[in-house]
Amino acid sequence: MNTGKAAVAEFFGTFWLVFGGTGAAVLAASVGNSGIGWLGVSLAFGLTVVTMAYAVGHISGGHFNPAVTLGLWAGRRFPGGKVVIYIVAQVIGAICASAVLYVIASGKAGFSLSDGFAANGFGDHSPAGYSLAAAIVIETLLTLAFLLVIHGVTDRRAPAGLAPLAIGLALTLIHLISIPVTNTSVNPARSIAPALFVGGWALAQLWVFIVFPIVGGLVGGLLYRYLLEVPAAERDKIEGPGEATE
């Protein structure tokens, strides 16, 4: 794997995720009586991952998320020496996406960053008024589950070629569950970018959406590694007749 090209792929993949997902929230979620709503935003986030995972996943692995990179490292699926490079590329891609989205959104009369700009929040800044404790639990749990899905569908025993679709559907489900609670992070890069533009409360609450997705990602990676991963030496013993072996 060419590390430079992989970093570029992570930049574009994260750009697309943040622009497509938060762009749907900012530009299309509520447009008179024809907005796409939370369901549409959830689908937008899932579709960004599906499309970019197929487009550049073969170049970088298609992480697009620091919590995913760290979770894959914890699960021994990714080398530690490339973690920082990936995370830097992801965060820069996310910030660039929010910058472009800001230029577009500010072209509409009445636009204001005080409306949230799809930033993540809790308490008064939760879409449905959920507490800090609720935000911590849901961000940790859903990121953990996301990493279990990612590890599972990229396992050598999983059906080939379907991983991007499964991961995108998982991210859609995650958003359907948690948009009312926190506006859904499970991705520190996605949270950092809009918070930098909103400032104030968004920056003050940002720590939650950096710390707990990372905690969930690490725990998810470790759980799969120690509880679900089948050691190479044992795989042949559990594979059925006709299944490929190493």
What are the tens digits of pLDDT across the range 92-127?
Answer: 999 999 999 999 999 999 899 998 999 999 999 999
DSSP 212-223: HHHHHHHHHHHH
The dihedral through the CA atoms of 221, 181, 191, 17 has a sign that is positive
For the cut 80, the answer to whether the pLDDT of residue 220 exceeds it is: yes
In the chain, the percentage of residues whose pLDDT exceeds 90 is: 85
Average pLDDT of the residues in 6-13:
98
In this prediction, residue 232 carries a pLDDT of 64
**DSSP reduced 3-state for 144:** helix
Check residue 234 and give its pLDDT.
Answer: 64
Q: Could you read off the pLDDT of 204-215 as tens digits, one per residue? A: 999 999 999 999
Q: pTM here?
A: 0.93
- What is the percent of the chain with per-residue pLDDT over 70, rounded to a whole number? 93
Q: Report which of 29, 4, 3, 191 is spatially closest to residue 94, judged by C-alpha positions.
A: 191
Closest to 118 in 3D by CA, of 16, 203, 20, 25: 25
Q: Residue ranges per domain, the chain? A: 3-104+115-229
Query: In this model, does residue 33 exceed pLDDT 80?
Result: no
Predicted local confidence at residue 121, as pLDDT:
98
How much is the pLDDT for 229? 86
Q: Average pLDDT for residues 177-198, to the nearest whole number? A: 98
Long-range contact list for 234-243, CB < 8 A, 24+ apart? 235/156, 235/157, 239/157
What does the pLDDT look like over 155-178, one tens digit per residue?
988 887 899 999 999 999 999 999
Is the four-CA dihedral 24, 27, 33, 37 of positive or negative sign? positive
Tell me the CATH architecture of domain 3-104+115-229: Up-down Bundle (1.20)
Residue 233: band (very low, low, confident or very high) from pLDDT cuts 50, 70, 90: low
| pLDDT beyond 90 at 235 | no
Q: Kindly tell me if the per-residue pLDDT of 30 is higher than 50.
A: yes
